[in-house]
Amino acid sequence: MRTVGIDLGGTNAYAVVLDDDRTIGHAKRRTPTDGGRNEVIKTLVKVADDALDDAGLERTAVVGAGVGTPGIVIGGTVGNASNVPGFDERFDLAAALHDRLDLPVRVANDVTAAAVGEHALGGGRGADDILVVFVGTGVGGGLMLGGVPFEGSHGGAGEFGHLVIRQGGAVCPCGRRGCVEAYAGRRAMELAAERAVAAGTPTVLFEVMDGKGKSRATSGVFKTALERGDELVADLIDDGIAALGAGIASTVNLLDLEVVVLGGGLADKLGESYLARVEAAMRPHLFLEPPRVRLVAAMLGDEGGAVGAALLARNVA
Ligand SMILES: [Zn+2]
């Protein structure tokens, strides 16, 4: 069975054509930053057509399309996505795409779609109950329970980044305090570094950032600063690892998960040692003896969300 899957991100939209368990077409386009919702929808249609072109197929050769989008998804509608133009107010994305693609369309949250991909074809293969955690600009989470995505009563399940691991703790980009993301997310770490510099703490982080010609402290910037022995960056990464360990263990204690998949820009850049250290930070908090949960690396990379969306599209066909 062939389907097309699209992953809409704040920066790029990826699309794949999935034929059974193989991707046979790939495409990527920039997500428009202005022009509103219609420009974004046009881009989604174009990137899907690009992936079909890459596979040498017409739209009629696929049975459906799936989309992973930021925000909270209820049925085919999406809202609360502030980083995509026009996606903060709720609207029917499935209907809008169905009109333009003339295919059945399934919409899911982007991290839920990535969890579906990692569950079927990536790090979570063979496990029914998994948590997928992506550590990048923010910290995202997706849950598969009993082998199906768990989206909650109002589409808002899986917000792993906003698990509170320290009451009255650091301010999170969401405006609350003490969330995992307030310690482990790249944006929060960059803000913490700015505050430390203002208070007189030395760091090479911003020098490395300028040297690489970046306007933000990317995952690569953090990695280089860490390799140069920067103490502030090492402390920030230590705090992030401790927060991830506590958050993951708490989720495992609640749900008795088999596998936790860890991915995202920062986890990918920092690699095996980061994964091993998050696992070590998790272990002391685990309640069940002996601990059977496995922490593994995400395997599908940037295309995981699009692959998961393509898998979800099989259910609408
Ligand atoms: Zn938060």
In tens, the pLDDT along 228-278 reads 999 999 999 999 999 999 999 999 999 999 999 999 999 999 999 999 999
pLDDT at 317 over 60: no
| Delimiting residues of CATH 3.30.420.40 domain(s) in the chain | 2-117+303-313, 125-299
Record the pTM.
Answer: 0.92
pLDDT for residue 86? 94
Q: Residue 315: which pLDDT band, with cuts at 50, 70 and 90?
A: confident
- 3-class DSSP assignment, residue 276: helix
User: What number is the average pLDDT over the span 19-43?
Assistant: 95
194-211 pLDDT tens trace: 999 999 999 999 999 999
pLDDT for residue 104? 96
CATH topology of domain 2-117+303-313: Nucleotidyltransferase; domain 5 (3.30.420)
Percent with pLDDT over 90 in the chain: 93
Q: Which of 76, 44, 49 is nearest to 61 (CA)?
A: 49
pLDDT at 87 over 80: yes
186-198 pLDDT tens trace: 999 999 999 999 9
Beta bridge partners of 143: 131
Percent with pLDDT over 70 in the chain: 99
For residues 4 and 17, the answer to whether their CB atoms sit within 8 Å is yes
Mean pLDDT, rounded, of the chain: 95
pLDDT at 283 over 60: yes
Outline where 164-264 has alpha helix (H): 181-184, 186-198, 205-211, 219-227, 231-255
pLDDT for residue 235? 98
Contact partners, residue 122, CB within 8 Å, separation at least 6: 261, 298, 299, 300, 304, 307
| Residue position matching structure tokens 């685990």 | 286
**Cα-to-centroid distance, 261 and ligand 1 (Å):** 20
**Cα-to-centroid distance, 150 and ligand 1 (Å):** 20
pLDDT at 58 over 80: yes
pLDDT at 180 over 80: yes
The torsion angles phi and psi of 87, rounded to 5 degrees, stand at -100, 10
Pairing between β-strand 12-19 and β-strand 2-8 as defined by DSSP bridges: antiparallel
159-175 pLDDT tens trace: 999 999 999 999 999 99
**Cα-to-centroid distance, 9 and ligand 1 (Å):** 19
pLDDT for residue 302? 87
Domain 125-299 is classified in which CATH homologous superfamily?
A: ATPase, nucleotide binding domain (3.30.420.40)
User: What number is the average pLDDT over the span 73-82?
Assistant: 92
For residues 13 and 115, the answer to whether their CB atoms sit within 8 Å is no
**Cα-to-centroid distance, 174 and ligand 1 (Å):** 4
**Cα-to-centroid distance, 180 and ligand 1 (Å):** 7
User: What number is the average pLDDT over the span 120-135?
Assistant: 96
**Cα-to-centroid distance, 137 and ligand 1 (Å):** 13
Q: Residue 316: which pLDDT band, with cuts at 50, 70 and 90?
A: low
